[in-house]
Copies of this chain bind each other. A is one copy, B any other.
Amino acid sequence: MNYSRQREEVMDQLKLHHDHPTADIIFAELRERDPNISLATVYRNLKLLSEHGAIKKLTFVSGADHFDPNTELHYHFVCNECGRVFDVPMKVAEHLDQDAEAFVPGEVTGHELVFYGVCDECARKS
């Protein structure tokens, strides 16, 4: 993988976020600083970076994929109202993979745990 300014920009912009943005959000933000960057370039680099393990693709929200610059195993909370994704810095349940293995027709290499509910901000609105 050669260096590219655009890929570095995508990575840097994603790192500014703690809210796991989608490709189009990263694109819109980068466009302000770099009016020539292409949407396909953002998608391609997010794909490349996640394939190389530099970032994590989050596929648990219906619609667009979200991206997380933190590749450490951790959990997430999704608000059913606004769709925003928050980190859940609770202790990771390491044993789950072994527990599951007994019930599965294959080898378990990891897990993803997502909590659902309503964030405080949305609760206040209704």
Contact = CB atoms under 8 A, between A and B. Distances in A.
A59 interface: yes
B103 A90 contact: yes
Interface stretch (A22-30, A33-41, A112-120): A112-120
A104 B116 contact: no
A118 B113 CA distance: 18
A110 B116 CA distance: 5
A59 B62 contact: yes
A123 B106 CA distance: 8
A9 to B, nearest CB: 24
Most chain-B CB neighbours within 10 Å: which of A108, A114, A117?
A117
Contacts of A123: 106-107
